[in-house]
Amino acid sequence: MVDPLHLSRVEPRRFFSSHKSLVTVFWIATFASLFIWQFGGVSGRGGALYRAGSVFWWGTSASPGGFPRLRPVSFNLTDFGAVGDGVTMNTDAFERAIFAISKLARKGGGQLNVPPGRWLTAPFNLTSYMTLFLAEDAEILAVQDEKLWPLLPPLPSYGYGREHPGPRYGSFIHGQNLRDVVLTGNNGSINGQGQTWWKKYRQKLLNHTRGPLVQIMWSSDIIFANITLRDSPFWTLHPYDCKNVTITNMTILAPVFEAPNTDGIDPDSCEDMIIENSYISVGDDGIAIKSGWDQYGITYGRPSKNILIRNLIIRSMVSAGVSIGSEMSGGVLNITIENLLIWSSRRGVRIKTAPGRGGYVRDITFRNVTLDELRVGIVIKTDYNEHPDGGFNPQAFPVLENINYTGIYGQGVRVPVRIQGSKEIPVRNVTFRDMSVGITYKKKHIFQCAYVQGRVIGTIFPSPCENLDRYDEQEQLVKHSDSQNATDIDYEI
């Protein structure tokens, strides 16, 4: 196996052959682990899924029908008259089953088992102390008629429907003010059937902002594990102002083109969250960490913080593998993003903001990130000028500081780094260490910077911009930069 620590010290000519081995090994190891988990580690033959912290394991008890039992009481969807033929509307069955579970909170809640079949329904709400378990080959289908989707007020930290003023469509599966909710299964799926929504959006036929596939708001102790989410009308999984959220062993899918705004996972003003061991391929950002929009987010004042993102494979042909912002007005703090493979995408990891956002992005760590066939690898953009209305303060400048990139590898990347600070929004205390990214474009200025202060430790490839201080491997200063405000941004590359 190639030693990744050695890659930053080899000459560029040797990089390409050695790094292909690294990418291959990473792919094999990651897909093998996902395969083992999906098909070996989660047997449908009895066994119960328990949680200890963020760790799951299987026991031996099972409810009738072969479903693992996670709660004292369990129900099957068919007990409430549901028909899984893909045509029959099952909204009443879901609502009656969830109402029955809502009466069991003092007894530890209840579990709703969804057996194999295609279960068409209008949007529905979850309840506390509930487990929704999707069997293998179970698929919950969202009705496509938007008249059956409820309208909700705009999110308070956005103050405006994201696409239209006024009310917004609610999510397909929704929850507010909940505690102890688990969505899991034997890789069953929730299908938003978003094709109709995407078409109407492009044709400007919708009067309200599209709804997410799953949205949980103002809730705590939430788990998503071992299910597939696909073809959302809008953002796919949107935890909003939640605490203690675990998202693990998920598959999130949408077409990589012509599926607008189908972000994979959007933590929004959330804290104490882990996102891990998952595959995401969607029509917008794979993950986008948010915390409100301009003056509304500043007033709401809830940051996204203490989030760990690890062990993911992501593809985003339109946007980025992992983004922070651009709606980050409540602040983003203490984020670790590690062990990622981002492949065949437009961008790798990105921070985006603008004057008027306010807030801050600080204490961000990117570690052990592999970039395979990308247009731009690392991006920081400070002129992402989308605003909810004219009421924002153009002097509300966000603060960007303490951002670390360690162990960044890749091949086939056109522009490895583009950090575009500005006089009003400089990027401070950025660190690069152990970086070797093979390039497809031989022109100079492929490590682009503007208004950036920070340092490079050791030797990295490609050569860094002149804005950054140079340190040796022992972190001793070699050369101090006096060009922190230099600008070398070229969007023609």
**394-407 per-position pLDDT tens digit:** 999 999 999 999 99
Q: State the pLDDT confidence band at 156, using cuts at 50, 70 and 90.
A: very high
Locus of tokens 């911009």: 465
DSSP 91: H
Place of tokens 């992005």: 361
At residue 160, the pLDDT reads 84
HSE, side-chain direction, 13 A CA sphere, residue 31: 6
Domains in the chain, ordered, with CATH?
Answer: 75-479 (2.160.20.10)
Predicted pLDDT of residue 43: 33
Q: Which of 22-31, 220-229, 258-267, 364-373 has the lowest mean pLDDT?
A: 22-31
Quote the pTM value: 0.89
Q: How far is residue 379 from each of residues 188, 322, 347, 353, measured CA to CA in Å?
A: 35, 10, 8, 11
Residues annotated as catalytic (active site), given as ranges: 284
Determine the pLDDT at residue 492.
76
Query: By C-alpha distance, which of 453, 442, 457 is closest to 481?
Result: 453
Q: Which residues contact residue 274 at a Cβ distance below 8 angstroms, ignoring those fewer than 6 apart?
A: 54, 245, 246, 247, 248, 307, 308, 309, 310
Mean pLDDT of 84-88: 98
